[in-house]
Homo-oligomer: A and B are copies of this chain.
Amino acid sequence: MPRVELEYPKEAVNSVKRSSDRGVYALRTIHQIINSSRLVHVSFNVPDSPFPVTLPMIGQMGSFARPSADEGDVLDLYLHGYVSARMTNLSRKGTSDGQEDGAGGIPVCISASHVDGLVLALSPFASSYNYRSAVLFGYAVLVSDEEERLYAMELITDSVVPGRWRDARGPPTPAELQSTSILRVRVKSGSAKVRVGEPHDEARDTADAELCARVWSGVVPVHETFGEPIPGPSNSRAVPTYIRDYVKDTNEVSAETAVQAAVEPLKKEKAKESDD
């Protein structure tokens, strides 16, 4: 763990222009948002088109050189998913081995967002979401080193269900390895935006007793839920503990995160008031 909370440098491309109190540059916050997203959106440009192209992929922050690094450290982003022929060709511009920062690879923008609540204010215009969103900018290359590829495949498999890599069938067959692409993004900058708390109504609206009595205002928490695991046709055993626990624990944390996002600032404010 680093002794200080590292931050990405604030530059033109990543600086949060509006509601700057919502802007966060801490690596830990940004990496946690990325790592807790089931999918990230990867945007890049292709020749002869005015449109960026965006693909959903599975992404996890990691460090092959120092696997024990924590989420607050300088990390790379490993990506797995369908890597199009266009993207492969573009990312081959840089090789993954011994490459200097920015010496090659395809410029990508990676984004991930969690909605934690519907914030319903008295006016539609004061309404909002509680959310956590992060964006990373960097250069993506196809990883060719077999050891690093295996490191990333385990990282990504265990992001779906922790412990799955060790439990599932291994080792990978040559065909499996051959058909699996891993991209590594050397991160150049990033930022996050986070909104928590109750609706922020205008004074003229909260002073309107008729309006407050007529229109409900508050937060509807939003979170991801895992349902009851459904066995596939090849299955012949009960759901193992590591899956059952992961489902249960993740559901509890997700639901609690959404509620905390709605009430935490309220509680803090009350604590502060009682301090005064």
Chain A residues engaging chain B, CB cutoff 8 angstroms: 12-13, 17-19, 38-39, 41, 43-46, 49-56, 58, 82, 84-85, 107-111, 113, 115, 118, 120-125, 127, 129, 131, 133, 135, 137, 153, 157, 160-161, 164-165, 167-170, 172-173, 176, 179-180, 198-199, 201, 205-206, 208, 211-240, 243, 247, 255, 258-259, 262-263, 266
Contact = CB atoms under 8 A, between A and B. Distances in A.
Of A54, A170, A230, A258, which is in contact with the most chain B CB atoms at under 10 Å from its CB?
Answer: A54
Contacts of A228: 221
Contact of A52 (B44, B179, B262): B44
A63 B225 CA distance: 33
B230 A219 contact: yes
A212 B231 CA distance: 11
Contacts of A259: 227, 230
Contact of A229 (B135, B220, B232, B239): B220
A239 B263 contact: no
A246 B212 CA distance: 21
Given A51-B108, A227-B259, A230-B262, 18 more contacts: A13-B46, A17-B85, A41-B43, A56-B133, A120-B161, A122-B234, A124-B164, A125-B176, A161-B220, A167-B215, A213-B236, A214-B237, A217-B231, A219-B229, A220-B226, A221-B226, A222-B224, A233-B266
Given A13-B49, A235-B212, A176 B123 contact: yes
Contacts of A53: 13, 109, 135
Could you tell me the dominant secondary structure of chain A's interface residues?
Answer: mixed
6 contacts: A123-B172, A124-B168, A169-B215, A215-B237, A216-B239, A223-B225
Contacts of A51: 13, 107-109, 137
A111 B176 contact: no
A217 B199 contact: no
Nearest to A228: B221
